[in-house]
Amino acid sequence: MPDKSLDLLEQLWNDVEPGRAPLVHLVGAGHAVRRRRRRALVVAVAAGSLCVVSAVVLGVNLAQSHDHALSPSDGTGERAGLSPDQAAARVLGSVDEPAVRDVQVIGMPGDPTPSRTWVRTYIKDAAGDTVHGEWLASLVAGAVAELMRTNQSSLDQVIQGGDFVHTGPHGTQVTEQLGMGQAAQEYFDSPSDPDLRDRVDQVAQHFGLTVASVRVLHPLDSALDVRLVVPPGHVSWTMGDLDRELMGSPVDIEGLYVELDSPSGRVLLQAGYQERLAGGGWSGEGDRFGIQHG
Amino acid sequence: MDTDGGFAAFASAQWARLVRAGVFLGCNREEAQDLAQSTLLRCFVAWRKVERADSPEGYLYRTLLNCYRDSHRRRWWGEQPTQILPETAVPADAVDQLATIDAVHRALDELSQANRQVVVLRYFVELSEHDTAQALGIPAGTVKSRLSRALDQLASSPHLAEGPS
């Protein structure tokens, strides 16, 4: 590499002005996080000291609360992936969303190489609501790829891409592509559905919003589909604030769709997040254990 | 040294490199500062692990990459409403910073994420091969080969041949 190129990059490195480290804030925030963790630990220890019967009941409840998860991996990264058809059928059944009409794993459009695969999701009545449709299709594509994965280190080694088909404004079928990145296998360990609904209620209350509807979808782990009503008046928070609280810290759901409506029912904003796809930049090699959320 | 004192010294020493690494990984300056804060906060909470780690710097930068992935994996569709438009005057030094960061991104955006991470950690942060391998969770041999490929690619980059515009 020419010295000139290196010199230039080094100059740019030095030119980035880092600002000052917010040490007081960091230490204060760090202590607050530790206190919260200690409280959680105390609760866990207290619960653990209860009688065996309680423990058995707790175990049953935990098992029930996670029976929607498809246990895509044993946690070692080594696994036998499902066939494309099996994976598509399983996600179609588990996502429990009528708007997802069909899921197919097909050859990559325009590419004759048979091993290059593509996830196509058919969305019902998505005309005028491509944000929600794209969000659903992204959830589906990520879940299908995760189920097909064997020991690959990133999703883009399993599927080359995806798209979704919906009905356009003139009644014609429209195919729109999804972004696809390098995210690795991920485990979210989502809370139970009632806990997630409680979270939505609490967050809505915190932000002064009214819950219009909540759905918990289960592509693999859980995803929240939430519609909230914003009261008239000044809004002092951002969507970033809202989504951070809804996604959990650390993130424990694989997707979030938020629609904010006016009191009259007009849609003010739609936002979709999903965690399995997109350009995570996960290098993968050597990281056989994936990313543990939750 | 107590936890707060030890952490403060560590954070002060690492701050500038963390922010610059964030920018070189693809963040703007504000995102890179947030990334550095998130990284250091996680390290504070797990300070015993950091202190006992075979390589505290390897641990730090592995945490940085985890935080980076968390923040960049999400995608956003839609609009963010605001009552106050952010149309304030931008100071001259902020303009310089934008130009610098734009030049960094143009130069490095051609690299794959994997190669980019190796270049940033090994070449610019100056982690050892061993620490880079630990931070990335890859064998040391892979660090070498990726670095070599990335530097070759950068050498033929038209952006670097021309210099910053």
Residues in chain A, total: 294
Q: Give the tens place of pLDDT for each residue, A92-104.
A: 999 988 899 999 9
The answer to whether the CB of B99 falls within 8 A of the CB of B107 is: no
Chain A hits for B12, Cβ within 8 Å:
21, 23
- The pLDDT value given to residue B99: 75
Chain A, 129 to 168: residues with Cβ < 8 Å from chain B are 131, 134-135, 138
Return the SS3 of A122.
Answer: strand
First vs last C-alpha separation in chain B: 47
Most B CBs within 10 A among A6, A11, A15, A228, hence the mutation to make, goes to A15
Phi, psi of A166, deg, nearest 5: -145, 175
Q: Give the tens place of pLDDT for each residue, A58-70.
A: 333 333 333 333 4
> What is the model's pTM?
0.50
Higher local confidence (pLDDT), A149 or B86 = A149
Return the SS3 of A102.
Answer: strand
ipTM surpassing 0.85, yes or no? no
Percentage of chain B modeled with pLDDT above 70 = 79
Contact between B97 and A16 using a beta-carbon 8 Å cutoff? yes
The answer to whether the CB of A220 falls within 8 A of the CB of A157 is: no
Q: What is the mean pLDDT of residues B11-37?
A: 90
Q: Give the tens place of pLDDT for each residue, A231-263.
A: 988 778 887 788 889 988 777 898 899 988 889
The answer to whether the CB of B135 falls within 8 A of the CB of B65 is: yes
Q: Give the tens place of pLDDT for each residue, B98-126.
A: 777 787 788 788 888 889 999 999 988 99
Residue of chain B minimizing CA distance to A259: B78
pLDDT band at residue A180 under the 50/70/90 scheme: low
Burial environment of residue A59 by CB neighbours within 10 A (0 to 12, 13 to 18, 19 or more): exposed
Angle subtended by helix axes A3-15 and B92-108, to nearest 10: 140
Contact between A5 and B142 using a beta-carbon 8 Å cutoff? no
Average per-residue pLDDT for chain A: 74
The closest of A133, A286, A142, A278 to A221, measured between CA atoms, is: A142
Task: Kindly tell me the sign of the dihedral angle through the C-alpha atoms of B49, B57, A287, A138.
Answer: positive
In this predicted structure, the answer to whether residue A197 has a pLDDT above a threshold of 90 is yes
